Amino acid sequence: MKQFIILTILAWSLSSTSQAAPIDLMALETGKKTYNAFCIYCHGAKGEGDGQAAALNGVPLVDISNKAYMSLLSDQDIYDRIAYGKEKFPYIQMPGWRSNLKPQEIKAVVVYVRSLAVDKGALKGPTPKEREERFNNSSAEKGRIYYLKYCSTCHGRTGDGKGPVANTLKLKPACFNDPKITEQLTTENVKKYVTDISEERGRYMPIFEPFIEEYIDEIVQHIKTLAK
């Protein structure tokens, strides 16, 4: 209760001394707790995408502390991306959080994510909208993202067979920089390698759930671009 009163007074004094919209300190507090419990291990303490689990997350994480990037998203845009994740925004391969977090907690985490913003100059990479459009309109981009997400932790982001999980395996992942390997790959045989337990090849890979079959065509296209 005491903390609540102090926060309220703080919020009041902040809002009365500045013209800008008052920062909701209660939300900031809840948002920080939520972020530290659910987000930090991928996005990192400052939002730069260097959390402990980031390396194991095949897709490199966008810097959500980059003001130029994040200012292109409204609070509602950020809310929806956090709530629904890849279900509605497949260009971000992040699970949606709406089954773990209440709407109030998601709102609070939006406030906290906003507070992480740092001015890093003009945006160098694509905007969120450009990324979304590129993903939706290009099977090459889908293949790249799905490969990073589902295959790169073992086969490596560049296909060198040296992803972060590779060291832990007795049998080394295939190197996709080798054209002798990639030229024999077809959508059909790769589907078998990744889903059919009776297949000899790929036995040291996880057996993927059938959802993966939908992506294999695009993934194989991408793998073929990795050959040198």
* Cβ 86 to ligand HEC shortest distance, Å: 8
Region binding ligand HEC by CB under 6 A among candidate stretches 10-18, 116-124, 133-141, 152-160 = 152-160
Structure tokens at 78: 């950020």
By the rule CB under 6 A, 185 interacts with ligand HEC: yes
Task: Count residues near ligand HEC (CB under 6 A).
Answer: 44
By the rule CB under 6 A, 169 interacts with ligand HEC: yes
By the rule CB under 6 A, 44 interacts with ligand HEC: no
By the rule CB under 6 A, 11 interacts with ligand HEC: no
* Cβ 121 to ligand HEC shortest distance, Å: 18
CA distance 79 to 225: 35
H helices present in the chain, as ranges: 2-17, 25-38, 40-43, 67-70, 75-84, 103-115, 128-137, 139-150, 152-155, 179-182, 187-195, 213-225
CA angle 76, 77, 80 (to 5 degrees): 80
Closest by CA to 89, choosing from 129, 59, 132, 43, is 132
Structure tokens at 201: 């090849």
By the rule CB under 6 A, 148 interacts with ligand HEC: no
Contact between 143 and 222 (Cβ < 8 Å): yes
- Choose, by CB under 6 A, the member of 107, 144, 155, 222 that binds ligand HEC: 155
By the rule CB under 6 A, 135 interacts with ligand HEC: no
Within a 10 A sphere around the Cβ of 143, how many other Cβ atoms? Answer: 21
Closer residue to ligand HEC, CB minimum distance, 10 or 188 = 188
Helix, strand or coil, per DSSP, at residue 78: helix
**Interface with ligand HEC by CB under 6 A: which residues?**
38-39, 41-43, 53, 57, 59, 61-62, 64, 78, 81-82, 92-94, 97, 109, 113, 128, 150-151, 153-155, 165, 169, 171, 173-174, 181, 185, 190, 193-194, 201-206, 212, 219
